[in-house]
Amino acid sequence: MGTFFQFDTRAGAAYAGENMQATELDGFGKGLAYGVMPGLSPVAPETNSGKKMTEEHNDAEKDPVEQAGEDLFHYAADREDIKWLMQYLSPEADINRVTVEYELQILKFVSVGWSISYFLENSSNRGRVLALYWQAVREYARNLSDTTNMMTGQEIDYFEVVKQRLDQYVAALSRNSGAPEPGSVIGPEFAGVCGNENDIVTSMTGSKLFLGILANVRKYLEAMEV
C-alpha cells in the first residue's frame, strides 16, 4: 500500500487542485490512545452490515461509490468531533481557541480526503470517490464563502484555504518522512498553523482528529467494500 508520505503527496497534487473543476492532559491522552472520537464511527451502530455512515444518508438503490462520496463528505462536514475536541483544549493553552476550531474543520476536510486516497490506493473506484468527495467539499466551500462575503463584505475563498492547508500538511510530511507515523507530524504542524507549534495540547488536538479520521474512514470503506 506504500507509505503515508507517498500517499499524501499524490493526494495533494492530484485531487486538491488539478482534477477538480482541554481539560486535563491525562484525560486527553487516554482518549487519544483509543484513536476514535466517541460517537463518531462512520458506520451506523444499528446496521450489522456496516454499509452506511448514518441512517439518513442510506439509499439502497444508490450506487455504492456515489453513496461513499456523499457519506464521507457529510462525515467531514459534521462538527460533533470538533466540539468534543474543543472541550479538551485547556483554557491555559497559549493559543487562540477560535483559530483552533476554525483550523480543525479545515484539517478534517483534508484528512478525510487523504484517507480516501490512501485506503483506496488499489481500488479502481479511488479516483471516482475522491472526485465526488472533493466536488462536494468545493460546493460547501463556495456556499460558505458566498455567505461570509455577504455578511462581512470580505472576499474569502474557503476552498483555496483548504487547498493551501493541504499543501502545507503534505510538505510537512515530506520533510519528516522518517517519522514513525503521520500523526506525530500533523500534530505539531497543526499547532503551528494555529499560532504556536510548541503548545502540546493543541498539537495533540490536531493529531487526535487526524488519527480518529484515519480509523473511521478505513472502517467505513472496508464495510462498504468500495
Domain regions of the chain by residue span: 4-44+61-224
Residue 98 has pLDDT above 80, yes or no: yes
How does residue 162 score in pLDDT terms, banded at 50, 70 and 90? very high
Q: Tens digit of pLDDT for each residue in 37-70?
A: 443 344 433 333 334 444 444 545 789 999 999 9
Closest CA to 187 of 205, 174, 175: 205
How many CB atoms sit inside 10 A of residue 117's CB? 22
Q: The pTM is what?
A: 0.77
Asked whether 107 and 85 are in contact (CB, 8 A), the reply is: no
How does residue 203 score in pLDDT terms, banded at 50, 70 and 90? very high
Q: What percent of the chain has pLDDT over 90?
A: 62
| Per-residue burial over 172-210, b = 16 or more CB atoms within 10 Å of its CB, e = otherwise | bbeebeeeeebbebbbbbbbbbbebeebbbbbbbbbbbb
**Which residue blocks in the chain are alpha helix, DSSP H?**
4-13, 25-34, 64-77, 80-87, 97-119, 126-152, 158-175, 183-194, 200-224
Q: For residue 225, what pLDDT is reported?
A: 87
Q: What average pLDDT is seen over the chain?
A: 79
- Of 91-95, 105-109, 110-114, 166-170, the one with minimum mean pLDDT is 91-95
Q: What is the mean pLDDT of residues 101-108?
A: 98
